[in-house]
């Protein structure tokens, strides 16, 4: 993997350069670097929450190291699952001209923006610009209209909301059961 080329292409994508987006989408070797950038972004964000504690009123919250590691792993898994789910829905449900793997590659490279999450206050900037890249990719490469993009976002919110509720509910039930049984 050529790191210089990968990071150069990633920065071109976040600058909304369509030729770079097309190149990465069609590159058969771009999936691995895209997933590595996504995992790296999750790790950097987790490290940032560890180094920069959050304050709410008079209370300061600092994650412990095992909690940070778990959060990094979960964030990476959710990010990767989200990329593939979005690509799948865009291609199969909304008939995007950009296939699932092309979407994952381009948006995986765009996750270079997650490096900004090292300093938590910049996470909002990273999130907003990633959303802009997302809309441009689906509009320009996927040839989706604004209505389709909005429906795609709402469908994903619904899916992740239901899945999150189910997982959270199961964890709550299992935690309650374990507490009840004395484990």
* Position 89 in a domain: yes
Residue with tokens 């802009």: 132
Cβ count within 10 A of residue 11 = 15
Task: Split the chain (183 residues) into runs of 10 and give each run's mean pLDDT.
Answer: 91 97 97 96 90 76 84 93 96 96 97 92 93 97 96 94 81 56 52
CB 122 within 8 Å of CB 136: no
d(CA 57, CA 22): 47
Q: Give the number of domains in the chain.
A: 1
Q: Which domain holds residue 38?
A: 3-144
Residue 127 lies in a domain: yes
- Quote the pLDDT of residue 64: 84
Q: Does 179 fall in a domain?
A: no
Element (H, E) at 122: none
pLDDT at residue number 120:
83
Q: Rounded to an integer, what distance in angstroms lies between the CA atom of residue 129 and that of residue 107? A: 12
**Position 41 in a domain:** yes
159 part of a folded domain: no
Domain membership flag for residue 183: no
Nearest Cα neighbor of 34 from 73, 68, 76, 97 is 76
Angle of helix 65-92 relative to helix 146-181, nearest 10 degrees, comes to 140
Say how far apart CA 92 and CA 86 lie, in whole Å: 10
Distance CA 32, CA 105 (A): 8
**Residue 114 placed within a domain:** yes
Query: Is 169 part of any domain?
Result: no
């Amino acid at each position: 993997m050529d790191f210089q080329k990968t990071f150069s292409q990633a920065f071109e994508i976040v600058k909304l350069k369509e030729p770079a987006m097309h190149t990465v989408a069609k590159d058969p070797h771009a999936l691995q670097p895209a997933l590595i950038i996504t995992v790296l972004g999750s790790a950097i964000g987790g490290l940032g929450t560890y180094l920069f504690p959050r304050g709410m009123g008079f209370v300061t919250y600092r994650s412990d190291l095992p909690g940070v590691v778990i959060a990094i792993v979960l964030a990476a898994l959710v990010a990767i699952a989200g990329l593939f789910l979005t690509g799948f829905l865009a291609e199969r449900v909304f008939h995007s001209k950009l296939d699932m793997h092309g979407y994952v590659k381009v948006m995986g490279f765009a996750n270079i923006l997650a490096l900004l999450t090292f300093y938590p206050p910049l996470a909002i900037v990273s999130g907003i610009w990633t959303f802009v890249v997302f809309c441009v990719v689906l509009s320009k490469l996927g040839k989706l209209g604004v209505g389709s993009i909005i429906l795609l976002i709402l469908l994903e919110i619904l899916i992740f909301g239901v899945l999150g509720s189910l997982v959270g509910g199961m964890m709550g039930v299992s935690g309650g059961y374990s507490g009840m049984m004395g484990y």
